[in-house]
Chains A and B, each alone.
Chain A
């Protein structure tokens, strides 16, 4: 069964500090990997999308990396802010025929940024 595993499950950091979230996946074949931010009680918001040929992609203070050989990805958050407190979900897309694809979601890492 294709899976997406994220670690840590939860994380508490001080405002202004950096942190790195991890994602390991077994999804194959693989189209792309996405990171989403989900605030409590809200829908996920896309941060980055990377294909297997991309190693890194940035979106402001968020930088995602991808190693398609080891099937690992990370999301690095720089100079954290209180508003970064949310769940961060790793999502892997696999082709499912007819030019379409299916998304497999990880359970997310719950990040809490404290003053």
Chain B
């Protein structure tokens, strides 16, 4: 079991560009959540996908959008990049949304640098 995988590992973009980050959940998991973690901060919730739909969303602008595919993998898209979007983007997968005790498994993250 490869666990949660993310690609790419690192990315450098310039302001105004668009970026797509990818995540494959742990085998058997059907729910994917995305987080943004700035340096020295805890992760901030962006949104969560279940059954190919956005089920929850944190306090992020519409520039942040996502998608979940039938195989449960997911993409995070960020348009019109700002310098402040530079962060580690974490994907977490879990099984059975609504199970209060279920553990989220995190991927290694994608480090995005916006110049």
> Hey, which bits of chain A sit against chain B, CB under 8 A?
4, 31-32, 36, 41-46, 49, 51, 89, 91, 93, 95-96, 98-108
A105 interface neighbour in B40, B42, B88, B100, Cβ under 8 Å: B42
Number of A-B contacts (CB under 8 A): 62
What 0/1 readout, one digit per residue, does chain B (95-115) give for beta carbons within 8 Å of chain A?
001101101111111010000
Q: Please name all residues of chain B whose beta carbon is closer than 8 Å to the beta carbon of A98 when the two chains form the complex.
A: 55, 98
- Interface of chain B residues 84 through 98 with chain A (CB within 8 A): 88, 90, 92, 97-98
Q: Is the CB of A32 within 8 A of B100?
A: yes
B10 to chain A, nearest CB (A): 10
Q: Is the CB of A108 within 8 A of B101?
A: no
Q: Tell me the bound Cα distance from A51 to B99 in angstroms.
A: 12
Q: Is the CB of A103 within 8 A of B103?
A: no
Q: Is the CB of B92 within 8 A of A100?
A: no
B25 to chain A, nearest CB (A): 13
